[in-house]
Amino acid sequence: MEPPPSHGRLITLEGGDGAGKSTQANLLAARLERAGNQVVATREPGGTPLGQELRRLLVTPGDDPPVARAELLLYLADRAQHVARVIGPALARGAWVVCDRFTDSTLAYQGAGRGLDEAQVVGLSGFATGDLSPDLTLWLALDPAEAARRRADRGLADRLEQEGIAFQSRLATCFARLAAKEPERWRTVAAEGDVATVAARVWAAVADRFPEVAG
Ligand SMILES: Nc1ncnc2c1ncn2[C@@H]1O[C@H](COP(=O)(O)OP(=O)(O)O)[C@@H](O)[C@H]1O
Ligand SMILES: [Mg+2]
């Protein structure tokens, strides 16, 4: 028998608002668990008690919205806490960690979206995570207009989701560029179609990257 991995695996889900990340992250975590794995499902921002506070500050439209640099640092504070308290310890005990958004969201939203310098965002992100990089990143790629329809069905938009289609298109261009730069780490998953169809694509991508998980 194979010895258990001494170090777990970090899978992140990325994509624009309404692409189906949260839906698919939950389904993937459940499926990995059914396959007999130790799984931690978590999200950003808000994966720790401190992160919950930061999430509230980030998503609630207020009178004094954070400027782009402040927004970046709030996300990175959330991530630093999350890596130190949740993700790092889970990986150390050999768990699979499924994380709804991670560093690539920061590159897309605060870099491409808000126009902050990408090299600076990369450097600060590395500081926040101790250079932790996912083993697999799934990009749920969905036409921004379709994503907007899904968000409308869901109800009220939060502060970042209120950005328009042009903003969402910049995010998509950025995710495509990041994925092309690191093809080993990234898998692009077509996010159109019903939930079960997309879940099957997600599982195929995970099994492609980690053949051992498919049994
Ligand atoms: N494949 C799908 N087809 C139609 N609606 C979907 C699909 N996946 C998710 N949804 C719905 O679309 C909305 C956005 O999905 P969600 O998982 O919250 O996206 P995200 O986390 O990427 O913003 C939710 O109301 C969800 O129930
Ligand atoms: Mg979500």
Is 60 exceeded by the pLDDT of residue 3?
no
24 CA to centre of ligand 2 in angstroms: 9
* DSSP label of 147: H
Q: Which domain CATH number covers 133?
A: 3.40.50.300
Among 23, 109, 140, 156, the mutation site with the greatest number of ligand 1 atoms within 8 A of its Cβ is 23
Q: Is 154 in the pocket of ligand 1 (CB under 6 A)?
A: yes
Domain that holds residue 155: 9-209
Number of domains in the chain: 1
pLDDT of amino acid 161: 60
Which residue's CA is the closest to the ligand 1 atom numbered 24?
154
Is 60 exceeded by the pLDDT of residue 1?
no
In a domain, 112, yes or no: yes
Q: Which of 110, 127, 113, 138 is nearest to 45 (CA)?
A: 110
Q: How confident is the model at residue 43 (pLDDT cuts 50, 70, 90)?
A: very high
Reported as a single tens digit per residue, the pLDDT across 6-16 is 589 999 999 99
Is 60 exceeded by the pLDDT of residue 5?
no
Q: What is the DSSP string of 112-139?
A: IIT---HHHHHHHHHHHHTS---SEEEE
CA distance 51 to 77: 8
pLDDT of amino acid 215: 63
In a domain, 84, yes or no: yes
Q: Is 150 in the pocket of ligand 1 (CB under 6 A)?
A: yes
Q: How confident is the model at residue 48 (pLDDT cuts 50, 70, 90)?
A: very high
Q: Which of 81, 77, 189, 95 is nearest to 137 (CA)?
A: 189
CA distance 142 to 163: 16
122, 166 Cβ separation under 8 angstroms: no
In a domain, 32, yes or no: yes
Is 80 exceeded by the pLDDT of residue 50?
yes
Cβ neighbours of residue 79 closer than 8 Å, sequence gap 6 or more: 44, 45, 102, 103, 106, 125, 128, 129
- Encoded tokens for 120: 């600076």
- What average pLDDT does the structure give for the chain? 93
CA distance 93 to 176: 32
Is 70 exceeded by the pLDDT of residue 179?
yes
Q: Point out the least confidently predicted range of 2-6, 146-150, 154-158, 182-186.
A: 2-6
In a domain, 214, yes or no: no
Report the interhelical angle of 68-82 vs 49-59 (nearest 10°): 160
In a domain, 2, yes or no: no
In a domain, 142, yes or no: yes
54, 80 Cβ separation under 8 angstroms: no
The sheet that has 186-190: what strands, in order across it?
39-43, 96-100, 9-14, 136-141, 186-190
In a domain, 197, yes or no: yes
How much of the chain, in percent, has pLDDT values that exceed 90? 80
Reported as a single tens digit per residue, the pLDDT across 68-105 is 999 999 999 999 999 999 999 999 999 999 999 999 99
CA distance 3 to 28: 24
In a domain, 215, yes or no: no
Q: What residues have their beta carbon closer than 5 A to ion ligand 2?
A: 21-22
Average pLDDT over residues 35-59: 97
Q: How far is CA 45 from CA 67, 73, 78, 141, 147, in A?
A: 17, 12, 6, 21, 20
